[in-house]
Amino acid sequence: MPMRIAILGTAPPADISTIETCARRTCADSGSHVVLTHPAPGTPFEEVPSAFVSYVPCTPESMREVFAYLPVGSGESIPFFQKIDRDEAPEFLAGLPVFGVFRSPLSPAFAQTMCSSIASHDRYTGQNRTLMGEVVKYRKQKHQLVKIGAALSSQNDLGELLNMILAESRDLVDADAGSIYVRERSGPGKRFVNRLRFMIAQNDSVEIAAKSREFSLDIDQNSIAGYVAFTGETLNIDDVNELDASVPYKFGKSFERKFGYRVKSMLTVPLKNLAGQVVGVVQLMNKKRDPQTVLSGPDMVADAVISFSYSDEDFVRTIASLAAVSVERVQLYDDIRQLFEGFLDSSIAAVDERDRVTSGHSRRVMGYALSFADAINSAGDGPFADEHFSDARRRQFKFAALLHDIGKIGVPESLLNKETRVSAGEFAGISSRFELVRFQVSAGRENLAWHSIEELNADWEFLDKVNRSGFLSEEDQARLSSIRDKTYADASGHPHPILTDLEWEALSVRKGNLTLEERDLINSHAVSTWRILSKIPWTSELENIPDIAAHHHEKLDGSGYPDGLLGDEISLESKILAVVDIYEALVAQDRPYKPAMPPERALAILDAEVKQGHLDPDIVRFFAEKGIHRIFIDPA
């Protein structure tokens, strides 16, 4: 750092020469050089001088004018020497921050003393500046540790957590690059195994994110990260390319070759949990002398990179202890989430096992629902511009969609798997009666409702078709009524209707294959869904699952069930489920009692439901316009 002396006013050439000579001699021992400047009055200083030597007239007015434009605080922190015209200094100078006074011509002895004083002040100022910088840095690091601890405790995503740990560690010790390894776990109990998995890398000087892939390495003494995980000790290496031959670990140069990046200093610290087990390793590389430096080439490393200090070790170990607890907490959180999702999968599998007719329905409804949520997030405008599905809201919607029919677990299997209007056993009873009548017709018995075998067979074939039909026309209803009015005689000659009241009720259902009583029993699954799901102690992010799932049969006009909700009383998620649930049932290809409906016809039915005031028009329109209805038809 040069000795900068600012000459104020007009100085005799001889005095300038004397000052320059003495300053040069003073600087010779320290290896620095001298810079003399002659700033014009009132002009700003590009660099603050080491001292001022003033030849300005020594009057109160002149002195006030000089100190008015000097750098702020310079009078107290920068030596100021003033030329006087008599042996004694004027009294007013006592009130000003003046280091010393001199007469002109300037004597070499005083000039030497003045320059030595300036040099001493420079050294003191430099040391003080360095000390203050260290204090400021230490306080910053302590403050960062508090912030890091708070931030780590609130992060529940492992990837985000590891990125935060690495970024904060690097920032704290001015590391140019770094990586994190996490110890692998295996088996039902998720026990630790002796392998590390490379998870993330960061680098301020080269782009590596796109080329970084996860890989595993053994926890042994062959690699630096493996050694630290194996021993649980910190390694602080000044230069990884100059390792002592006695150490068991080696530095792999493949990273340097792949990215053209020279690694010199390296600090590798284990992440230990409360039980003292190593759960991971954080590895920091290339501590920079200047944090703003970009190591644009290997040649820069020698001068720009320094070793990590002992205090760096302490700070990173502190972060590592906080990070290890957070990593284990997040892993436990993930384990619980996987356990919960496994329970959900088992529950849905149980429903599918009982209801083979609609097996896979819940997962397809979930697929439509999540695609709808993602389309809302991507839209940016339109009727759902103010809606956004955060990760938490999307996850809640996912589970609600998956569980929307969980209440069917309490519905009799005979109804869930009902493929015809009357069961096979019941229809066999009808067939037996027709066989009896067929025998009577063949025997020529009189007064029968049927006059020929052909007429009898036609009625039986019609009933067989109706039993397997999903819809009855008015003509079908009329013919069914005429058959109902027909009777047959038993072996004793007593007349009986060819169809019982229960058989008539089941066969005469206009749409579907369920009677009103059976339909009510099926519909009760919505209440059962709410009752089952409301008993689960959901977290705050998932607390609306019971309502969303149970209300997917509500209609805008209040005619739905189970609660008869109106319009805005129904959540957006439940309104979406109402649409996708109906659509999936219409186009499903696995219903044995009906063929799959073309998407265009299914959308037309949704439009009809909108006109009747049942479904939300914006949702139905969005569903069709965004092509969500085709995700299982065009899976690409």
Q: What is the pLDDT of residue 11?
A: 94
Task: Please name which of 627, 575, 545, 610 lies closest in space to residue 375, comparing C-alpha atoms.
Answer: 627
- Quote the CA–CA distance of 528 and 534 in Å, as a whole number: 10
Q: Tell me the pLDDT tens digit for each residue of 550-586.
A: 999 999 999 998 999 999 999 999 999 999 999 998 9
- In DSSP notation, 316-381 reads HHHHHHHHHHHHHHHHHHHHHHHHHHHHHHHHHHHHHHH-GGGTTHHHHHHHHHHHHHHHHHHH-S
Q: Tell me the pLDDT tens digit for each residue of 81-90.
A: 999 998 888 9
Class level of CATH domain 3-127? alpha beta
Q: Report, as an integer, the average pLDDT of 272-283.
A: 90
- Quote the CA–CA distance of 266 and 286 in Å, as a whole number: 6
Give the list of residues 6+ apart from residue 65 with CB closer than 8 angstroms, or none.
Answer: 41
Question: Higher pLDDT residue, 358 or 530?
Answer: 530
Q: What is the CATH number of domain 355-413+521-630?
A: 1.10.3210.10
Tell me the CA distances in angstroms from 556 to 21, 520, 530, 566, one per residue in order: 96, 20, 20, 5
Q: Tell me the pLDDT tens digit for each residue of 136-171.
A: 666 776 677 677 766 667 677 778 888 888 998 899
pLDDT-derived band at 72, boundaries 50, 70, 90: very low
- Quote the CA–CA distance of 563 and 556 in Å, as a whole number: 12
- Quote the CA–CA distance of 160 and 196 in Å, as a whole number: 19
- % of the chain residues with pLDDT over 70: 89
> pTM of this prediction?
0.56
Provide Rg for the chain, Cα atoms. Answer: 44
How far is it between the farthest Cα atoms of the chain? 159
- Quote the CA–CA distance of 375 and 574 in Å, as a whole number: 17
The answer to whether 81 and 100 have CB atoms below 8 angstroms apart is yes
Q: Which tokens belong to 264?
A: 């010199």
Q: Is 624 helix (H, G, I), strand (E, B) or coil?
A: helix
Q: What is the pLDDT of residue 141?
A: 66
Q: What is the mean pLDDT of the chain?
A: 86
The answer to whether 620 and 602 have CB atoms below 8 angstroms apart is no
Query: Is residue 412 pLDDT above 70, yes or no?
Result: no
Q: What is the pLDDT of residue 636?
A: 40
Q: What is the pLDDT of residue 357?
A: 56
Q: What is the pLDDT of residue 548?
A: 97
Q: What is the pLDDT of residue 135?
A: 64
- Quote the CA–CA distance of 161 and 282 in Å, as a whole number: 13
Query: Is residue 618 pLDDT above 90, yes or no?
Result: yes
Give the list of residues 6+ apart from residue 133 with CB closer than 8 angstroms, or none.
Answer: none
Q: Quick one: CA torsion of 198, 201, 206, 209, rounded to 10 degrees?
A: 80
- Quote the CA–CA distance of 171 and 152 in Å, as a whole number: 15
- Quote the CA–CA distance of 234 and 10 in Å, as a whole number: 63
Q: Tell me the pLDDT tens digit for each residue of 13-53.
A: 999 999 999 999 888 877 778 889 888 877 777 777 889 99
Q: What is the pLDDT of residue 591?
A: 64
Tell me the CA distances in angstroms from 567 to 165, 380, 617, one per residue in order: 47, 24, 12
- The residue to which tokens 């170990």 are assigned: 317
Query: Is residue 116 pLDDT above 70, yes or no?
Result: yes
Question: Higher pLDDT residue, 12 or 381?
Answer: 12
The answer to whether 250 and 223 have CB atoms below 8 angstroms apart is yes
Q: Is 32 helix (H, G, I), strand (E, B) or coil?
A: coil
Q: What is the CATH number of domain 155-327?
A: 3.30.450.40
pLDDT-derived band at 134, boundaries 50, 70, 90: low
pLDDT-derived band at 544, boundaries 50, 70, 90: very high
The answer to whether 54 and 79 have CB atoms below 8 angstroms apart is no
Domain locations in the chain as residue ranges: 3-127, 155-327, 355-413+521-630, 420-513
State how beta strands 34-37 and 3-8 pair: parallel
Any idea which of 70-74, 443-447, 507-511, 605-609 has the lowest mean pLDDT? Answer: 70-74
Q: Is 177 helix (H, G, I), strand (E, B) or coil?
A: strand
Signed CA dihedral, 97, 102, 106, 107: sign only: negative
How many angstroms from the chain centroid is the CA of residue 334? 13
